[in-house]
Amino acid sequence: MRERMMRYLRYLLPMKWWFLLAILSGVIAAGASGMGIPFMIYKVFPVVFDPSKMPEAVSEFMAARVDPANLKNVLLLLACAVMPVVFVIRGVAMWLNAVLVSYVGMKILEHIRMDVFRKLQSLPLSFLERQQKGDLISRVITDTQNVQTMITQVSNDIIKQPLTAVSAIGVLVYMMYEQGTMGMMLTNIGFAALALAPIIICGKRIANRSRKAQKGLGDITSVVQESLASQREIRSYGLEQRQIDELSKGTDKYCKDQLKAVKYQQILVPVMETVTALALANMLVQGRAMGMTLTDFLGIAGALFFAFDSMKRAGIAFNKLNQAQASLERLDAILSEPDTMPDPELPQPIGRVEGRISFRNVNFSYEEGKPILKNIQVEIPAGQVVALVGPSGAGKTTFASLIPRFYDATSGAVLIDGVDVKDVAKTELRRHLALVSQHAMLFRQSIKENIRIGRPQAEDEEVLQAAREASVFSFLDDQPQGIDTVLGDAGGGLSGGQRQRVAIARAFLKDAPILILDEATAALDAESEEKIQHELEHLVKGRTTLIVAHRFSSIRVADRILVFSHGEIVGDGTHSKLYSSCPLYRELYDKQGI
């Protein structure tokens, strides 16, 4: 934990002055509690009752200024005035300390949350595909919230209480030294050690349970996320009860783990209070045996109470941090995930792209030892429209995914206009590519803004022109606010074909030289597909286009067809050439009955 905490210290740097102010106010608050109050009991109050106990210097100072007949009243007045002053200083310092610790903590967390989210945006797709989406959501939302809550809860205690304990122990040592009762100190050290044991033991258990609980919360979020995303499947297959049972099992486990963490958290208070009572009882016995006066005893007892009480509160705060540690670990796992597809150190500019694509001896596998693409060797001239066909799982989508660097070739190279895509910054590379996929993803904003994603700086008229080219206007009459209608999650409120049109408009607006249509019409019925074909034919003109074709009807716009089988290209040519020379192509084509 300490190592991880050290790593987070770099987040602290920009807030170092606020943090130092927080510590300073913590020191003042701690001094006022741990030293100020026992000091008042031990040194100030006795003088009010017996002025002869006044230190010599103070006595001389008073003698020169106060009538001896009034001395008792003046001393009482002064003591009464000192008390509120000590408490005001203590109160202001405590408030400032708590507010500043919360502020610094929340700011740090804000940076961590943003860094985690930024990292998620940049990590390779292969990493994201291995994760449960719900668990990732839970990390970004719940784990950061968990850390935030803990920071607020411990802000009042995390600096102040350990310092209060230290200052109270300091006063205790001073008093015992002054009274020659250091033997008593040794037994108190024994009690202090006894008090630390539960803090350490409980701390470890709390961290373990919290780790399990947070993982459980991730699983719960995954079930909810999956259920909401797959309502059609769940309802059509009658899986409602199965999902409910799964959530119920998950929440049950989560509650049990949480409860165990709470049990360890709460056991600390009674254990520490018992130890404090034992230490006080011990002092009472030893104090009487040593002939201590009540005033001396009360001063020492006050300091002892503050020392143990602060240790208890610091222990509770540290255990809360142990709970937050589990969440921090989960965030840290994302932050420390290595980027296996970094941008080149010296990215090569590619300038104006014509759109020539070359695959040179490309091999690719998602998992070691399971080759998906085998020694692919293809040259696609700029402006050529190429359809990728082949049985399911043959590697068509994977082939197309290597061009925008969704994945990197395991060996060999993919080049655009002769430049290896690995030598180009990913954002620069992707600026020259437009992608229309099977399930067009639309965002929770207006249709117009969804199209503008293609080129955010585009003028309104350009967006409208792209919408016209993709025939978006053909369905806008049904939308309450036309092109300004705000869509639901993932384009809710539009049909598959309508969503597809918006995605095509986006590609028109982007006007990229390379276009990847990944089964762009596969989700549509024959009639919608027929209508969209027209827009697609218009879109592909003058661009290097790869069409991952499931339905052979979409290959009619292609100049060339690549036939994939088990990760290899087994046919390359026009329809008529392949129909006569490639048995797999003929078989696939005939099966579709076109």
Ligand X SMILES: Nc1ncnc2c1ncn2[C@@H]1O[C@H](COP(=O)(O)OP(=O)(O)OP(=O)(O)O)[C@@H](O)[C@H]1O
Q: Which residues bind ligand X (CB under 6 A)?
A: 129, 366, 372, 390, 392-398, 548, 550, 564
To the nearest whole angstrom, how small is the minimum distance from the Cβ of residue 399 to ligand X?
7
The residue among 226, 235, 161 whose CA lies nearest residue 195 is 161
To the nearest whole angstrom, how small is the minimum distance from the Cβ of residue 131 to ligand X?
12
**What phi, psi does 490 have (nearest 5°)?**
50, 35
- For ligand X, give the closer residue by CB, 3 or 367: 367
- For ligand X, give the closer residue by CB, 43 or 133: 133
To the nearest whole angstrom, how small is the minimum distance from the Cβ of residue 522 to ligand X?
9
3-state helix, strand, coil in the chain (%, to 5): 70, 10, 20
To the nearest whole angstrom, how small is the minimum distance from the Cβ of residue 582 to ligand X?
16
Tokens 């006044």 -> residue: 54
Q: Beta-strand (E) ranges in 275-426?
A: 357-365, 371-380, 385-389, 411-416, 419-420
To the nearest whole angstrom, how small is the minimum distance from the Cβ of residue 479 to ligand X?
32
- For ligand X, give the closer residue by CB, 15 or 403: 403
Maximum C-alpha span of the chain: 126
- For ligand X, give the closer residue by CB, 448 or 550: 550
What three-state secondary structure class fits 123?
coil
Residues 6+ apart with CB under 8 A from 146: 214, 323, 324, 327
- For ligand X, give the closer residue by CB, 396 or 430: 396
- For ligand X, give the closer residue by CB, 297 or 364: 364
User: Which amino acid is present at 470?
Assistant: A
* Interatomic CA distance for residues 185 and 172, integer angstroms: 8
CB neighbour class for 66 (10 Å; exposed up to 12, middle 13-18, buried from 19): middle
* Interatomic CA distance for residues 584 and 8, integer angstroms: 58
- For ligand X, give the closer residue by CB, 353 or 546: 546
- For ligand X, give the closer residue by CB, 211 or 550: 550
To the nearest whole angstrom, how small is the minimum distance from the Cβ of residue 396 to ligand X?
4
* Interatomic CA distance for residues 221 and 297, integer angstroms: 57
To the nearest whole angstrom, how small is the minimum distance from the Cβ of residue 163 to ligand X?
53
To the nearest whole angstrom, how small is the minimum distance from the Cβ of residue 124 to ligand X?
11
Cβ atoms of 543 and 383 within 8 Å: the answer is: yes
To the nearest whole angstrom, how small is the minimum distance from the Cβ of residue 438 to ligand X?
8
Q: Please, what is the angle between helix 496-510 and helix 460-469, to 10°? A: 130
Q: Count the neighbouring beta carbons within 10 Å of the beta carbon of residue 468.
A: 13
Cβ atoms of 564 and 542 within 8 Å: the answer is: no
Cβ atoms of 160 and 94 within 8 Å: the answer is: yes
Q: Is the dihedral of CA 518, 520, 524, 527 positive or negative?
A: negative
- For ligand X, give the closer residue by CB, 130 or 352: 130
User: Which amino acid is present at 327?
Assistant: S
* Interatomic CA distance for residues 196 and 83, integer angstroms: 32
To the nearest whole angstrom, how small is the minimum distance from the Cβ of residue 410 to ligand X?
13
Q: How far is CA 320 from CA 62, 85, 260, 343, 569, in A?
A: 50, 32, 14, 40, 59
- For ligand X, give the closer residue by CB, 343 or 568: 568
To the nearest whole angstrom, how small is the minimum distance from the Cβ of residue 122 to ligand X?
18
To the nearest whole angstrom, how small is the minimum distance from the Cβ of residue 545 to ligand X?
16
Residues 6+ apart with CB under 8 A from 456: none
What is the DSSP pairing of strand 514-518 with strand 544-548? parallel
To the nearest whole angstrom, how small is the minimum distance from the Cβ of residue 563 to ligand X?
11
- For ligand X, give the closer residue by CB, 144 or 398: 398
- For ligand X, give the closer residue by CB, 387 or 467: 387
Ramachandran bin of 487, using left for φ above 0, alpha for ψ from -120 to 50, beta for the remaining angles = beta
The residue among 200, 228, 210 whose CA lies nearest residue 133 is 228
- For ligand X, give the closer residue by CB, 185 or 522: 522
